[in-house]
Amino acid sequence: MEKKRTEARSTSTRSRDRGRATRRRLIETTARLCKERPGAELSVAEIANAADVFPNQVTYYFGSKDSLLVHAAFLGLLHDARRIERIGRQAPDAATFRRNIARAVLAMPSLPSVARALAAAISRPELAPVVDRHLQLLFRQSERFVNQLVDGRGWRTRRPLDVEARTFWSTALGAVLLVRAGAHGTVADLDLAGALTIHDEPEDAQKS
């Protein structure tokens, strides 16, 4: 009897591992397709074929194609954010940091997909928790990065770090949504660097 229970647990563990691997493969494949074909309308069949899975596994693991697209969009965004951090670390001063970060973020290839994911969440409330979960992860990742940079270089921010991260990303993502919605201009017209309050000047210089 104990042997059967052990075998059952082992089989269950292997099944969960395969499920997690399939789920991860679907997300990574969809993220790659979105990057390779920005703006294209991907079908479930295309995604399944590229990931080497059955089409019904998309709905089995994610509930809908839109849910999968949200996961994939934010995976791409988080990967881009990691690259942005490397750019930020190379900045010799806070002014250069603000300028370089803003320029790099607005050029991220994942932004169009994320804008589509946000728009989908507006029209489909069941996707809102998925979007929120990924946004919170992005905010925490950015907050940790800024905290390390500020502590390591003696820089300061005029806002709490969590507010700094949320304000910056809300500004960047909001700008992309406006442009995609047809607002006049481009994201290049935005002073995204101005959304950052990170500085390295002495306090007295800031007050003068």
Mean pLDDT (whole number) for 159-177: 91
How many Cα atoms occupy the beta-carbon half-sphere of 54 within 13 Å? 6
Over the stretch 54-91, which tens digit does the pLDDT of each residue have?
Answer: 999 999 999 999 999 999 999 999 999 999 999 999 99
Q: pLDDT tens for residues 4-47?
A: 555 555 556 666 778 889 999 999 999 999 888 876 788 999 99
- By three-state DSSP, how is residue 156 classified? strand
Place of tokens 């989908």: 120
Q: Give me the sign of the Cα torsion angle 166, 167, 169, 175.
A: positive
* Contact status, residue 139 vs residue 169, Cβ threshold 8 Å: yes
Rounded CA-CA distance 117/62 in Å is 14
Q: Are 205 and 140 in contact (CB under 8 A)?
A: no
On the 0-12 / 13-18 / 19+ scale of CB atoms within 10 A, 72 is buried
Residues 158, 156: Cα–Cα separation, whole Å:
7
pTM: 0.79
Domains of the chain: 1-63 (1.10.10), 66-208 (1.10.357.10)
Q: Which residue has the tokens 């790659």?
A: 32
Nearest by Cα to 123 from 188, 70, 202: 70
Query: Residue 139 — very low, low, confident or very high, per pLDDT cuts 50/70/90?
Result: very high
